[in-house]
Amino acid sequence: MANKFFYFAYGSNLLAKRIHINNPTAVRHDIGQLKNFRLDFGTYSKRWRGASATIVAEEGAHVWGAIWEIDNCDMANLDHQEGVADKIYSAQTVDIETPNGTRLKCRVYQQCNNPKENLKGDLLPQDRRPSAAYRNTILKGAVESNLPEEYIQFLKTFPHNGYIGEPDIGRFIPTMSD
Taking only the tens place, the pLDDT of each residue in 84-138 is 999 999 999 999 999 999 999 999 999 999 998 888 888 899 999 999 999 999 9
Catalogue all structural domains in the chain, each as residue range(s) with its CATH number: 4-155 (3.10.490.10)
2 vs 27 pLDDT, higher one: 27
The pLDDT tens digits for 131-158 are 999 999 999 999 999 999 999 999 999 9
Mean pLDDT of the chain: 92
Active site residue 97: no
CA dist., res. 106 & res. 68, Å (int): 9
Candidates 66, 65, 70; CA nearest to 27 is 70
Gyration radius of the chain over CA positions? 15
Show Cβ contacts of residue 4 under 8 Å, excluding neighbours closer than 6 positions. Answer: 69, 70, 71, 72
Question: From residue 49, how far is each of 33, 85, 118, 135, 159 by CA, in Å?
Answer: 28, 20, 22, 11, 14
Q: Percent of the chain, pLDDT > 70?
A: 94
Beta bridge partners of 106: 94
Query: How far is residue 127's CA from residue 49's CA, in Å, rounded to a whole number?
Result: 10
Distance CA 36, CA 149 (A): 20
Strand partners, 45: 50
Q: What is the pLDDT, as a whole number, of residue 140?
A: 97
166 pLDDT above the threshold of 90 = no
- Identified catalytic residue from 58, 59, 69, 82: 82
